[in-house]
Structure 1
Amino acid sequence: MRSTVFTDEENVMQLQVALDVLDLPSALTLANQVSEHVDILELGTPLVKSVGIGAVSAIKAAHPDKLVFADLKTADAGELEATLAFEAGADLITVMGAADDDTVRGAVSAGRKYGKSVVADMIAVVDGRVERIREVAELGVTFVEIHAGLDEQARPGYTIDTLLEDGRRAGVPFSIAGGVGIGTIASVREAGATVAVAGGAIYNAPDPAAAAYELKKRATA
């Protein structure tokens, strides 16, 4: 994928890898291992906080042919934070779906200025999630990430099916993050997701490259 802006022209679900590590050498190593098999390289929030926005520039320089996603989880000052990431080389950033509408609008404004994409992260939005997904879509985000965080996934009885059902019901472009793996990615594709976000299924695998290859194959089957 060589576009600097997210596109889904072929209507094929894309694969995003979450680089959920805490230092830049580890992020670069993981990106190098899996880049051939993924469409989007995501700098996880802990990585951005640990290393700083310069990590975005480093990953983009190493992989200019990939979309680089800065998972900022912006909750305020949307235009300012989005601008910082876009100027550092990010192609996509996240703003919290639970944030004030003006925060979302600010991030979207920066996206339009730089010709880049803004994703609304719905983590921690549970009650009225489908309604809020539709609201932030109207505010101009490129797509919505229906996301269960690590703490939510660790609770007894967690299932990705709730995320998938909300995606089906919302009727807007969405990605799924939270439990995407070999056993679930076909269901993510069948639900109509634009992007499948895989973290631990790739970076915790004995062979991250092989895991990414298998997920990509199933994402596009």
Structure 2
Amino acid sequence: MQLQVALDVLDLPSALTLANRVSEFVDILELGTPLVKSAGIAAVTAVKAAHPDKLVFADLKTADAGELEADLAFGAGADLVTVMGVADDDTVRGAVAAGARHGKRVVADMIGVVDGRVERIRQVAELGVAFVEIHAGLDEQARPGYSIDRLLADGRAAGVPFSIAGGVKADTIGSVREAGAVVAVAGGAIYNADDPAAAAAELQKRIVS
């Protein structure tokens, strides 16, 4: 299982600073959607230039014009981009087509899909995405009673390659690995830590131990 850090900051200097601190311990550097909107697609190029040995994930959350938006991100240096799992099938197919031209990969983000999520995960997997991100957003996580267990259960049930985003931290990453995820996405557990590098190192340690 790979470890992905969500660089959920709002400007490129902060993103580069965070990436520099944690890159030793992670496999994938994710430019969060607010960062891409704030700093522009050039931020993808800058992060990839600074860390050419890491996979760079552009979290576009594309809902339309899948081929066009994915092509922009891949052209800027992204190795992976997201398309919304709730998007039209042709939007997903378009993003996948762009990925095929660039030799890069597309991830379907399932944020906002709750009812019928397992069925939709299987559907988008058949459209050619590399894997499906079973994702609870910040707003969902803030609700009383939220648990990562629902994400893990849906991942197990779907039977396709998946990642988990939403509540991945030191005391849950073992369960993410045991559920069979190909990627664990950590955001606040790293960037909100007093020492982000130490937090990333601890997560990485728990993946391999």
Q: CA deviation at 1:220?
A: 1.9
Two-structure CA RMSD over aligned residues (Å): 0.3
1:1-221 equivalence runs, <5 A? 13-221=1-209
- Look up the SS of the partner of 1:126 in the other structure: coil
**Partner amino acid, structure 2, of 1:76:** D
Amino acid at match of 1:78: G
Structure 2: gaps of 5 or more residues: none
Q: Could you tell me how far apart the structure 1 residues matched to 2:39 and 2:15 are?
A: 10
Corresponding position of 1:6: none
* Aligned residue in 2 for 1:5: none
- Number of aligned residue pairs: 209
Structure 2 Cα separation of the partners of residues 215 and 192 of structure 1: 16
Which structure 1 segments of 5+ residues have no match? 1-12
**TM-score, with length taken from structure 2:** 1.00
Q: Deviations over 1:113-154 (max 9, x none)?
A: 100000000000011000000000000000000000000000
Q: Give me the whole-angstrom Cα distance separating, in 2, the residues matched to 1:29 and 1:94.
A: 23
Q: What TM-score results when the alignment is normalised by the length of structure 1?
A: 0.94
Letter of the 1:16 partner, please give it: Q
% identity of equivalent residues: 84
Runs (4 or more) in structure 1 with deviation over 2 Å come to none
Say which SS state the counterpart of residue 18 (structure 1) adopts: strand
Q: Distance in 1 between matches of 2:31 and 2:98?
A: 19
